Amino acid sequence: MNILFLILIGFSLSMDTFSLAINIGTYNPPRKDNLIYSLIVGIFHFVLPIIGAYLGSYLINIISVKISTLLFFVFLFIGIEMFLSLISKEEKDLKLNSLNKLIYAFSVSLDSLTVGLILKSMGSIWILGPIIFATEALIFTYIGLTIGKLSYQKMGFKARIIGLVIIIILVILQLVK
């Protein structure tokens, strides 16, 4: 039961990265970038729960911003960037430099930090959690990037509009949390 619990948590942790990856994929990044970005997300989903498990309540007292608020601003920033790209009517690709990859990966992995707080209470099985979370996040990120890229290849500019709609939905979901 505990392993199933970890798999389900990992699945839910991966949904925001999956959504963001679909949007990034509509900007047709090179395959190498897809692999690197997926790996970075996976690493964050491994490391942050461990940090959360060890630093626990100390971190909660330091970080006074709710994670949903931080995600709201990240998704809002991405949405504005996508909207400006759409209204410029230029077919330009989104170039993720190393810093952007780290920021996006960190922002979609922050929720795994808070999950780390409960992992230690699971006894000896807790270390399996970050491994499961990282694996699922890596896979879902890569799948999202691939779906985004394929949708762009099939639908062109319309795929970017759909990506923008997804970002708007994510922004609204973060507002209601």
The per-residue pLDDT for 1 is 46
Name the nearest CA neighbour of 37 among 22, 26, 49, 21: 21
Helix and strand tally (H, E) in the chain?
Answer: 6, 0
The per-residue pLDDT for 86 is 62
The per-residue pLDDT for 102 is 83
Q: How much is the pTM? A: 0.75
The per-residue pLDDT for 101 is 77
Total tally of structural domains belonging to the chain: 1
Helical H segments across 26-124, by residue range: 31-62, 67-87, 98-119
C-alpha distances in Å from residue 83, one per residue of 88, 123, 148, 163 = 9, 46, 16, 10
User: Which tokens hold the place of 48?
Assistant: 């942050």
Which three-class secondary structure state does DSSP give residue 59?
helix
pLDDT tens for the chain, 177 residues long, are 478 888 888 888 888 788 888 888 888 888 888 899 999 999 999 998 888 888 765 655 666 656 566 556 766 766 676 676 666 655 555 566 778 778 878 888 877 877 777 776 666 677 888 999 999 999 999 999 999 888 888 887 777 777 777 777 777 776 776
Please name the residues in contact with 110: beta carbons below 8 A apart, sequence gap of 6 or more. 48, 67, 70, 71
The per-residue pLDDT for 158 is 77
Domain of 69, in residue numbers: 2-176
Name the nearest CA neighbour of 45 among 19, 22, 16, 74: 16
The per-residue pLDDT for 107 is 80
Name the nearest CA neighbour of 18 among 147, 159, 101, 140: 140
C-alpha distances in Å from residue 138, one per residue of 46, 56, 73, 93, 154 = 10, 24, 23, 23, 24
